[in-house]
A and B are shown apart, each in its own frame.
Chain A
């Protein structure tokens, strides 16, 4: 049964991937369009972009992380997901429109334009490391799901997951990711809502009263706090605030998230994509956390010892076989979508920010050559990502810790966009905060101010804001903010163009 469901779940994804690939090939042959592997010709409708924005940041952190975390922090775990709403607002309102207007594709490139070549170098290093480590975490998530259901070792399970993850993006790049994600987003909701119904039916068949029995379990066990929006004071202090800040302020600096928004047809369509992506991502959190908490209240699932394994038990024992296959397929799809998008994003940074500017042989690439190199790097990233995937502990906490390194970059990017660009302020702020993050991680100093636990993001926010603002203010060599300079140049460009052609002008 487990093998049947696992193979079915894997085939579920392979079939969708291959059908979408066939459709893309037929469409490309008919239209005769060239291959834009990285941005899909920048002609993707808003609903496909919304699905990719929602699914890129919905991966192992959700499927395995939230189900496990829900046992400790209950309903308050949703703040991890609610923070993604803030991410999408910043992405669709502040980031993507300006990247499209300035024809910039990667975040390190933008940071380099703001703070100079040295900052570009450290930003590229950070982004490659961040993207690659997240691919590793997603691989770990795939291994947990596959190994949890079969007799495969975690290493073997990682390899199987990694191969399908590569397939998700390798064949046709961004275009494939966008359309596969749209199909998967719809199927995931249908399938997982059905699971909630079957959980209720199962509990009723066992002599209970559906979800009421699950709610009563937490109350009678003295864990009523797990059913409140902010949890206990302890949960609020050690999980909610730190996690919300870490996600809301750092996920904007994910190249994968940005790149999922850039292929949109035009800037105005980002508005619709934002409204669709917010609930599409967040409401899935409700489903997955509810499933994790149900696993704690149902003895068979609870006996597995964790929320993530408990949810797999529910999928296998509560649902009919066809639904079990679809659930595992949907879980794998969520993780695979992040794996694919982050591999593509990291490969894009390597090609656009390292190969293109620093190597003469690859300085000027055709779209075909670009696609070749991106595919090459996707393979390298996936193979090495699978290799180290098994050495990382708790996914949710690891993810929250890792992304805090991006908060100083985010703060400096906002300062550089909206106010002034100071290379000195950028470099000092980022390096100081990163060193501080390492120190806090390996010492007990955070407890001195009662901010032990997953609260590195609070320190990062405070210190990067303080240092970034003060150092930028005192640097006499600081240039005006990049938006100010852009608008001045654009107005001049429009004025000249208007004189010569009578074309459109900026407001």
Chain B
């Protein structure tokens, strides 16, 4: 079932295409996810904010 994948190049090309699709999904999700200005700050530079679980 599915496309024929000769070893090793056909196999590599098929896998690379699926990898690219996954990277595309990753890019779309990155664009749509929550961001704030502190995302570019290192951990030590981030203002200390403690989440209260109540």
List residues of chain A with CB under 8 Å of any chain B CB.
42-43, 75-76, 78, 81-82, 85-86, 88-89, 92-94, 97, 100-103, 113, 196, 211, 214-215, 224-225, 227-233, 235-236, 265-268, 271, 274-275, 278-279, 282-283, 285-287, 289-290, 293-294, 482-483, 485-487, 489-490, 493, 497, 503-507
Contact = CB atoms under 8 A, between A and B. Distances in A.
Interface in B1-34: 1-9, 11-12, 14-16, 18-19, 22-23, 25-27, 29-30, 33-34
Contact of B19 (A85, A265, A489, A493): A85
Interface residues of B, number: 41
Kindly list the 3 A-B residue pairs having the minimum CB-CB distance in the complex, ordered from nearest.
A229-B2, A230-B2, A85-B22
A504 B38 contact: yes
Contacts of B6: 211, 215, 227
B8 A196 contact: yes
Interface of B: 1-9, 11-12, 14-16, 18-19, 22-23, 25-27, 29-30, 33-44, 47, 49-53
A214 B53 contact: no
7 contacts: A78-B15, A93-B29, A196-B8, A235-B1, A266-B39, A287-B8, A290-B7
B26 A490 contact: no
A96 to B, nearest CB: 12
Given A274-B26, A286-B15, A227 B5 contact: yes
Contact of B51 (A78, A486, A505): A486
A268 B5 contact: no
* Most B Cβ at <10 Å: residue of A86, A215, A503: A215
Nearest to A274: B26
Given A93-B26, A482-B51, A493-B47, 10 more contacts: A43-B42, A82-B22, A211-B7, A228-B4, A278-B23, A289-B11, A486-B51, A489-B52, A497-B47, A503-B47
Given A227-B5, A486-B51, A93 B33 contact: yes
Nearest to B25: A89
B42 A266 contact: yes
Contacts of B3: 228-229
A293 B7 contact: yes
A268 B1 contact: no
Contacts of B7: 75, 211, 214-215, 227, 290, 293-294
B27 to A, nearest CB: 8
B22 A268 contact: no
A505 B12 contact: no
Nearest to A86: B22
